[in-house]
């Protein structure tokens, strides 16, 4: 397959997708599970939309994450080797070796130990938000809570100084949703340079953070290469901040859109864990970000995908598949089927799943308790979204305090 074929391919990620990605996914799903489409840059991919096929695709050994199996189609970000040698680009033994090295720091037991640290951070950010709202001001929930919280939590785990966390996050956003090709390239250069500098500083003065542990595993035991070390830091700092930010923002928009379920949650906080799982299904930010390469011809949904071609497993489509979830476009905290693919499935299952769930739960819990009168501010064009084929989340989330707590307020 070459790029030339893409001129005849449909391009689903245009203005209709920007307006309502779920409607576009529905149309595709109704026609079949697998579609050869062009990404906005013209490169061809196979988009998988049925839940059963996305689920089995995530554990299919013939679908590799390693770019060495890719042909001429979409490969993902063009990264230097020092950022590319990470878990999400490695299969088999190399993936297992790196995952074992890093997994220790992210087990549910470790995250449990971090719980009070996370709760304190949530308290600080929500406290500032409450201060602004009670002073009669409008506040941006993304800037006040959704963005700084995960950045602080993952940044602290790596002992990244607070003032550098924000800068790093801007480069990650510049990479994931660039406004120009130059911004994309420059963001990647900046991230790389920053991480090389961070390694040098931490080598000179190690601490008891996760990064210092990885550096010791490299320098003392030779258990990973220098590129793998920098790439791991890149993946975890990036994945650990952006995804949680977008999930918290999407969760808040969803809850404010469903006032009855919101008041149920406020009255019965025991419903919160189930509500978080439903938010991960319904308001998950990653639309079609998961990419794989066929190592041999693979049949999915009755379509033969040639070796070397790129496959995108569309979680955003799978989560709204009516053959799996009855009335999938309804948000329902009482939904019986709480299983979803929001954190992946199989060997690449999200390393930060427990950390993500804890942050989302504590953030929503604090908003329910401390800001019962919060509502979306009425802004001229409504909530402004960033929507790419990879993800969808609000750019900012202007909120105010309602004169009196009423339906539609957190
Ligand atoms: C709500 C927030 C999050 C969401 C929705 C999310 C989603 C995902 C998904 C779908 C995957 C699988 C990707 C694939 O199979 O190609 C994944 C993997 C991963 N996530 Fe998360 N994630 C979140 C939070 C985090 C956090 C807080 C961390 C920080 C440690 C993290 C680190 C990772 C890593 C390192 C992988 C790769 C694991 C591997 O390849 O073995 N994620 N995540």
Q: How many CB atoms lie within 10 A of CB 398?
A: 17
Q: Is the pLDDT at 159 greater than 60, yes or no?
A: yes
> What is the pTM (predicted TM-score) of this model?
0.94
Task: Indicate whether 336 belongs to any domain.
Answer: yes
In this predicted structure, what is the pLDDT of residue 166?
Answer: 87
Ligand 1 centroid – CA 65 distance (Å)? 14
Task: Indicate whether 407 belongs to any domain.
Answer: no
Pocket of ligand 1 contains residue 110 by CB under 6 Å? no
Ligand 1 centroid – CA 238 distance (Å)? 10
Pocket of ligand 1 contains residue 87 by CB under 6 Å? yes
In this predicted structure, what is the pLDDT of residue 177?
Answer: 83
Which among 56, 211, 239, 313 is the best mutation to test ligand 1's pocket, defined by most ligand atoms within 8 Å of the CB? 239
In this predicted structure, what is the pLDDT of residue 6?
Answer: 46
Ligand 1 centroid – CA 150 distance (Å)? 13
Per the structure, the complete domain to which residue 379 belongs is given by 3-401
The total number of structural domains that make up the chain: 1
The more confidently predicted of residues 298 and 216 is 298
Specify burial of residue 134 (Cβ count, 10 A radius: 0-12, 13-18, 19+): exposed
Encode pLDDT of 100-124 as tens digits.
999 988 998 889 999 999 999 999 9
Task: Indicate whether 410 belongs to any domain.
Answer: no
CATH number at residue 225: 1.10.630.10
CA–CA separation, 96 and 90 (whole Å): 9
Task: Indicate whether 358 belongs to any domain.
Answer: yes
Encode pLDDT of 165-184 as tens digits.
889 889 988 988 888 999 99
Q: What value does the mean pLDDT of the chain take?
A: 93
In this predicted structure, what is the pLDDT of residue 72?
Answer: 86
What mean pLDDT is predicted for residues 140-165? Answer: 93
Task: Indicate whether 74 belongs to any domain.
Answer: yes
Pocket of ligand 1 contains residue 48 by CB under 6 Å? no
Ligand 1 centroid – CA 152 distance (Å)? 17
% of the chain with per-residue pLDDT over 70:
97
Give the closest residue (by CA) to ligand 1 atom 17: 350
CA–CA separation, 406 and 200 (whole Å): 53
Encode pLDDT of 330-388 as tens digits.
999 999 999 999 999 999 999 999 999 999 999 999 999 999 999 999 887 789 999 99
Q: Is the pLDDT at 408 greater than 70, yes or no?
A: no
Please identify, by atom number, the ligand 1 atom nearest to the C-alpha of residue 90. 40
Task: Indicate whether 52 belongs to any domain.
Answer: yes
Q: How confident is the model at residue 42 (pLDDT cuts 50, 70, 90)?
A: very high
In this predicted structure, what is the pLDDT of residue 381?
Answer: 77
Q: How confident is the model at residue 410 (pLDDT cuts 50, 70, 90)?
A: low
Q: Is the pLDDT at 3 greater than 90, yes or no?
A: no
In this predicted structure, what is the pLDDT of residue 225?
Answer: 94
Task: Indicate whether 408 belongs to any domain.
Answer: no
Which among 95, 352, 355 is the best mutation to test ligand 1's pocket, defined by most ligand atoms within 8 Å of the CB? 352
Q: Is the pLDDT at 297 greater than 60, yes or no?
A: yes
CA dihedral 279, 280, 284, 287 (to 10 degrees): -140
What mean pLDDT is predicted for residues 241-256? Answer: 96
Q: How confident is the model at residue 405 (pLDDT cuts 50, 70, 90)?
A: very low
Task: Indicate whether 29 belongs to any domain.
Answer: yes
């Amino acid at each position: 397959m070459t790029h030339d074929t893409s001129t005849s391919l449909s391009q689903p990620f245009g203005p209709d997708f920007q307006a309502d990605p779920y409607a576009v996914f529905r149309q595709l799903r109704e026609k079949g599970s697998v579609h050869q489409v062009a990404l906005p840059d013209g490169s061809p991919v196979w988009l998988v939309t049925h839940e059963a096929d996305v689920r089995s695709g995530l554990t299919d050994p013939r679908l590799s994450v390693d770019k060495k199996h890719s042909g001429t189609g979409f490969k993902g970000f063009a990264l230097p080797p020092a950022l590319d040698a990470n878990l999400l680009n490695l299969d088999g033994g190399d993936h297992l070796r790196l995952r074992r090295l890093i997994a220790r720091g992210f087990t549910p037991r470790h995250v449990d130990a971090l719980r009070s640290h996370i709760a304190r951070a949530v308290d600080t950010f929500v406290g500032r938000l409450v201060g602004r709202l009670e002073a009669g001001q409008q506040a941006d929930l993304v800037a006040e809570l959704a963005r700084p919280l995960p950045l602080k939590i993952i940044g602290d785990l790596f002992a990244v100084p607070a003032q550098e966390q924000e800068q790093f996050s801007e480069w990650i956003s510049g990479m994931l949703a660039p406004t120009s090709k130059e911004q994309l390239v420059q963001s990647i250069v900046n991230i790389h340079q920053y991480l090389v500098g961070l390694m040098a500083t931490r080598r000179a003065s190690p601490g008891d953070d996760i990064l210092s542990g990885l550096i010791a595993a490299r320098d003392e035991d030779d258990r990973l290469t220098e590129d793998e070390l920098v790439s791991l830091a890149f993946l975890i700092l990036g994945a650990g901040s952006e995804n949680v930010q977008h999930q918290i923002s999407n969760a808040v928009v969803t809850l404010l859109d469903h006032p009855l379920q919101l008041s149920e949650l406020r009255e019965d906080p025991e419903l919160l864990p189930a509500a978080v799982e439903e938010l991960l299904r319904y308001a998950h930010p990653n639309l079609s970000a998961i990419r794989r390469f066929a190592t041999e011809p693979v049949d999915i949904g009755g379509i033969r995908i040639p070796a070397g071609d790129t496959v995108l497993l569309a979680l955003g489509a799978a989560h709204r598949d009516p053959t799996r979830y009855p009335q999938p476009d309804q948000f329902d905290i009482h939904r019986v089927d709480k299983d979803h693919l929001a954190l992946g499935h199989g060997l690449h299952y999200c390393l930060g799943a427990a950390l993500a769930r804890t942050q989302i739960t504590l953030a929503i819990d604090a908003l329910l308790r401390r800001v019962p009168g919060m509502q979306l501010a009425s802004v001229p064009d409504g909530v402004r979204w960033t929507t790419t084929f990879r993800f969808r989340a609000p750019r900012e989330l202007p909120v105010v305090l309602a004169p009196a707590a009423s339906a539609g307020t957190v």
